[in-house]
Amino acid sequence: MALRKIMLVFFLALAVIPWLGQAKLAKAHGGGYPQLTNAEAGPYRVSVWTQPQPLTTDQAHFSVAVFTPLAEGFNTGLPVLDADVELILIPRNNGAAGLVLPIRRTNSVNKLYYETDVQLPTTGHWDVEINVSGDAGTGRASFSIDVQSPPIKNYWVLWGSVAFVAMVALWGARSFHRGGDLRRIVPALAIVVVVTAIGVTIITRATTPAAQAATRPWFWFMAGRPDLVVEVSASQWQWAFTYPDTGVTTTELMLPAGRNIELKLTSTDVIHSFGVPEFQLSQDIVPGSPTLVRVTPTQTGSYKVICEAFCGVDYQDMLAEINVVSPADFENWLSQQKQND
């Protein structure tokens, strides 16, 4: 009987986990599928990204970047951060109502974007207009989107969990009618649900340094103890790499081949994204929220770090060299760097 109660509590806890995971996934920000890149909008230039791809009736996120036309001495325009931006959505199929939404920069995680989430009521083609007005005047850019029904896989975990909880509740109610002791079941259930919810919340939303430190042993438990830790610091518009064991800081990332390497990614200002196409690695870096990633480079050679987030005017120049060398060469290089300091 005790075993059945424990099983009940365990499965109920399992049902809570995907639900919390779902809540985390819903929080989109910046970037996504490019709809417009440097498109003319009167006196402005706009770039627009949407997320996810394809857009669905339950999830549509719009990110708009507004620039001035090409600025002297820069490869792009300068960000326009004080404009009024309006999103107008017109469905092509008959009968459905259009939407007009102001987009604010304060909605944005990265403060350079104007962003909003939209609930689109119908599937099909929609025409999208972006109206920008500000000190330089008003401008308009447009494109079209194809909206689909949400894929069923987004829901099965959720509905599966709901069905499971319902089943467990029915089973619990039946065993209570047969004389199960509710005074023992309910506190046990409550404790497990609360502990699970707290644990999952910490693991999935570790955003403060203290929470990051608390989840680090868990991360190491899952990924193994690293052979080498490198601190990667992103700032507008450069990368810095620190080897904490020696205090060496460089502008190129030197890595030993075949080693389990932990990269601790931090940002000093806005959101950046650590991208190494050859490593199939792309990780957003949110200020104040260090993020750990693991790499084990297997091939020696030269690669490039790029910033995959629009993090300001020079984001495309935010590059760094990666050199993967043999462990012996790496040790030599590191001691050389230490002597140079």
Query: What's the closest the beta carbon of residue 141 comes to Cu ion, in angstroms?
Result: 24
Total of residues contacting Cu ion (CB under 5 A): 5
Q: How far apart are CA 114 and CA 46, in angstroms?
A: 11
Among the residue ranges 44-52, 147-155, 211-219, 313-321, the one whose residues contact Cu ion (CB under 5 A): 313-321
Q: How far apart are CA 330 and CA 338, in angstroms?
A: 12
The single residue among 311, 313, 320, 334 that binds Cu ion, judged by CB under 5 A, is: 311
Among the residue ranges 29-37, 180-188, 286-294, 311-319, the one whose residues contact Cu ion (CB under 5 A): 311-319
The single residue among 318, 320, 324, 334 that binds Cu ion, judged by CB under 5 A, is: 318
Q: How far apart are CA 240 and CA 242, in angstroms?
A: 7
Among the residue ranges 24-32, 75-83, 122-130, 272-280, the one whose residues contact Cu ion (CB under 5 A): 272-280
Contact between 307 and Cu ion by CB under 5 A: the answer reads yes
Query: What's the closest the beta carbon of residue 307 comes to Cu ion, in angstroms?
Result: 3
CB-wise, 28 or 307, nearer to Cu ion?
Answer: 307
CB-wise, 46 or 305, nearer to Cu ion?
Answer: 305
Per-residue contact flags (x/-) with Cu ion for residues 172 to 201, judged by CB under 5 A: ------------------------------
The single residue among 31, 272, 295, 308 that binds Cu ion, judged by CB under 5 A, is: 272
CB-wise, 111 or 338, nearer to Cu ion?
Answer: 111
Query: What's the closest the beta carbon of residue 310 comes to Cu ion, in angstroms?
Result: 8
Candidates 69, 56, 50; CA nearest to 113 is 50
Query: What's the closest the beta carbon of residue 180 comes to Cu ion, in angstroms?
Result: 57
Which residue is listed with tokens 């990666």?
322
Contact between 264 and Cu ion by CB under 5 A: the answer reads no
Q: Which two tokens stand for residue 209?
A: 């340094």
Query: What's the closest the beta carbon of residue 254 comes to Cu ion, in angstroms?
Result: 21
The per-residue b/e assignment along 216-234, b for 16 or more CB within 10 angstroms, e otherwise, is eeebeeeeeebebebbbbb
Binding stretches for Cu ion (CB under 5 A): 272, 307, 311, 315, 318
